[in-house]
């Protein structure tokens, strides 16, 4: 059976989840595709750190060059997050002719043109479905199936943490701080929720979606961004009295060749399909 080698950058929430899924579903995937996926090396900061998903010590490394120079590694999965060194490693992997998969919306919404050009020049593939709306999935649909369509409007809930918090604030009349603590206890929000609450994470994702939908390149700092951090239970009570629920929406609109991109709390009519997206 053909074997495809994977070099994993990061073994945190997403990297660990990938290793677990490959373990659980590896046989099934091999039967279906005729390919065996093999994680050959995993880059981390601290190999001694205890982890929820463990891998053999000998495949852990702190040296990216070991991944780059291994000819049996065909796919590099960048699941480290942050801008650097993720940006440099993605470019170097593409230049080395490796396929790159990344879940990193921050890096794509900042260095998109450089990374897309490098993927094209190298003739290798760049895949990033997990970076935005991975559960839908929307990236492949926009890149391929809908590529010939003129998309006038994008309206999306792209941040699960904020949506969970707003749902709890709406349904249980909780203050934001309590809903946030609950989301953190359930593993739905990170210890530092700043990127989520300020709307920055949604802006990263909208920049990627808008780039795919409208062409050209839209960076995250071109997105007008307001978060949910200042919402109070009273705002939500008033909204409900008028038949609305608050949602943090990512909105894109094209008109007359101009594109508008915004992220902000929005009052959505209770009857709108997005109002029923609860978690």
Task: Give the residue numbers annotated as catalytic, written as ranges.
Answer: 205
Of 18, 90, 103, 200, which one interacts with ligand NAP (CB under 6 A)? 103
**Does the protein bind ligand NAP through residue 239 (CB under 6 A)?**
no
Using CB under 6 A as the binding rule, whether residue 73 contacts ligand NAP is answered as no
Residue ranges in 10-29 that form contacts with ligand NAP under rule CB under 6 A: 10-15
Q: Which is nearer to ligand NAP, 104 or 170 (CB)?
A: 104
**Should residue 112 be labelled a site residue for ligand NAP when binding is judged by CB under 6 A?**
no
- Angle, vertex CA 11, rays to CA 193 and CA 190, nearest 5: 10
Q: How many helices (H) and strands (E) does the chain have?
A: 10, 10
- Contact between 78 and 100 under an 8 Å Cβ cutoff? The reply is yes
Q: Does 158 bind ligand NAP (CB under 6 A)?
A: no
> What is the C-alpha to C-alpha distance for residues 56 and 44, in angstroms, rounded to an integer?
13
Q: Which residue is nearest to ligand NAP (CB)?
A: 12
- The DSSP result for 49-60, as a single string, is S--SS---GGGE
Give me the least distance between CB of 43 and ligand NAP, in Å please: 5
**44 near 62, Cβ under 8 Å?**
yes
- Give the SS3 label for residue 217: coil
Member of 19, 55, 75, 81 binding ligand NAP (CB under 6 A) = 81
Among 104, 170, 202, 225, binds ligand NAP (CB under 6 A): 104
Asked if 22 and 36 touch (Cβ cutoff 8 Å), the reply is: no
Does 46 bind ligand NAP (CB under 6 A)? Our answer is yes
Residue (18 or 236) nearer to ligand NAP, CB: 18
Cα dist. 205→64, 94, 212, 276 in Å?
A: 27, 22, 11, 21
Among 49, 152, 153, 237, binds ligand NAP (CB under 6 A): 49
Is-contact 254 246, C-beta < 8 A? no
Closest CA to 211 of 154, 133, 158: 154
Q: Does 268 engage in binding with ligand NAP (CB under 6 A)?
A: no
| Footprint of ligand NAP on 161-220 (CB under 6 A) | none
**At its nearest, how many Å lie between ligand NAP and the CB of residue 199?**
15
Chain residues in the site for ligand NAP (CB under 6 A): 10-15, 43-46, 49, 79-81, 85, 103-105, 130
């Amino acid at each position: 059976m053909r074997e495809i080698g994977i070099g994993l950058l990061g073994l945190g929430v997403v990297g660990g989840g990938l290793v677990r899924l490959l373990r659980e579903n590896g046989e099934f995937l091999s039967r279906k595709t005729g390919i065996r996926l093999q994680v050959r090396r995993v880059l981390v900061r601290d190999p001694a750190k205890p982890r929820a998903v463990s891998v053999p010590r000998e495949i852990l490394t702190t040296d990216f060059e070991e991944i780059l120079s291994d000819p049996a590694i065909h796919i590099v999965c960048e699941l480290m997050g942050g801008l650097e060194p993720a940006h440099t490693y993605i470019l170097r992997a593409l230049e080395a002719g490796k396929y790159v998969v990344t879940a990193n919306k921050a890096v794509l919404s900042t260095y998109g043109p450089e990374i897309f050009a490098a993927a094209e020049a190298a003739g290798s593939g760049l895949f990033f479905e997990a970076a935005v709306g991975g559960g839908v999935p929307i990236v492949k649909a926009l890149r391929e199936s809908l590529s010939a369509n003129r998309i006038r409007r994008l309206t999306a809930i792209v941040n699960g943490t904020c949506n969970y918090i707003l749902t709890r604030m709406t349904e249980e009349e909780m203050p934001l701080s309590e809903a946030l603590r609950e989301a953190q206890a359930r593993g739905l929000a990170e210890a530092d929720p700043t990127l989520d609450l300020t709307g920055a994470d949604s802006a990263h994702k909208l920049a990627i979606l808008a780039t795919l939908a409208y062409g050209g390149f839209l960076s995250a700092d071109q997105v007008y961004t307001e978060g949910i951090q200042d919402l109070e239970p009273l705002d939500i009570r008033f909204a409900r009295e008028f038949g609305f629920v608050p949602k943090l929406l990512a909105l894109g609109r094209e008109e007359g060749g101009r594109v508008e991109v915004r992220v902000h709390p929005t009052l959505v009519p209770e009857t709108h399909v997005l109002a029923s997206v609860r978690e």
